[in-house]
Amino acid sequence: MLKGLLKEYEYYLKITKGLSSNSISSYTTDLKEYIEFLDKNYLLKDPEHITKQHIRNFISRLKRKNNSPASISRKMSAIRSFHKYMLIEKIVYANVTTGISLPKKEKRLPLVLSVNEIDALMIAADGDEPLALRNRAMLELLYGSGLRITELIELRLVDIHLNMGFINVTGKGNKERIVPIGDEGQYALKRYIEKGRSELKTVMGDIIFVNNRGNKISRVGFYKTLKRLAIKAGITKDISPHTLRHSFASHLLENGVDLRMVQELLGHEDISTTQIYTHISRKHLKAVYEEFHPRSNKGKQI
């Protein structure tokens, strides 16, 4: 029964919640592990027979297998969502996930690039070839507009309003937001659409960013491209497309932009998600103080 419910839940995530295929895959992978644990260890197939102790035992097993606190929290998030769905559908009449404590997650600050590193990355991507024009435009939108990589590769021509300087973005849960494009982003995107995309685009459709075969560029494809550009730029940090989004938010806050505005630009539903960047900003300010103020230890060495 649980395996059958998982299929129905997958459909619910797609149709009702509007989650992306990547998010749905992540949820179902974690839930399959959970359901297999219940089946193998307790021959448990009826959700009404699941108890808090079963879930605690599953968490203990994850700890024994050296899953990180972040990984356990992610799996537990999927389990909570699944049990909440069963409660909504009246498949069960109590949510046994309430009150279950989890190991504390280590708070790690997101990796960001300095302004100089961003400049070096843009220079590394520069060029007049179609793929170079594409890469520069993608970098400009990731950093200049703070897009997620999925949002970027799903952009269509109808979403772009170059003359007005903004784009329509469809984010998590199919929620739309309007995001401004800076002058550099507008210029790079215009050059790519006019001089690059037409040479790369050999199949029908209005997807903006395509690979050398004219098909929509994949997340993995751009990740590999970004890695090559980082090496060319002399950047030793282990960056990903999301690093540019982190850098976008961090640099805005460092320059005095209100946190609520950054939340809106990023498309965060909860401002607590955005607040992580205030820690980065404070860290930056502290580093500047220690480097230059005469009352700091480093400052006294100047």
What are the strands of the beta sheet with 160-161, ordered from one edge?
160-161, 166-170, 176-180
Q: What is the pLDDT of residue 300?
A: 47
Residues belonging to the active site? 148, 172, 242, 245, 268, 277
Q: What is the pLDDT of residue 302?
A: 43
* Single pTM value for the model: 0.63
Strand pairing of 166-170 and 176-180? Answer: antiparallel
Per-residue pLDDT of the chain (302 residues; tens, 9 = 90+): 788 899 999 999 999 888 888 889 999 999 999 999 999 999 998 999 999 999 999 999 999 999 888 889 899 999 999 999 999 999 999 999 998 887 766 666 678 899 999 999 999 999 999 999 999 999 999 999 999 999 999 999 999 999 889 999 988 778 888 889 989 999 999 999 999 998 987 767 899 999 998 899 999 999 999 999 999 999 999 999 999 999 998 888 888 888 788 888 888 777 776 777 776 556 555 554 566 555 555 544 44
Which residue spans within 48-96 are E strands per DSSP?
Answer: none
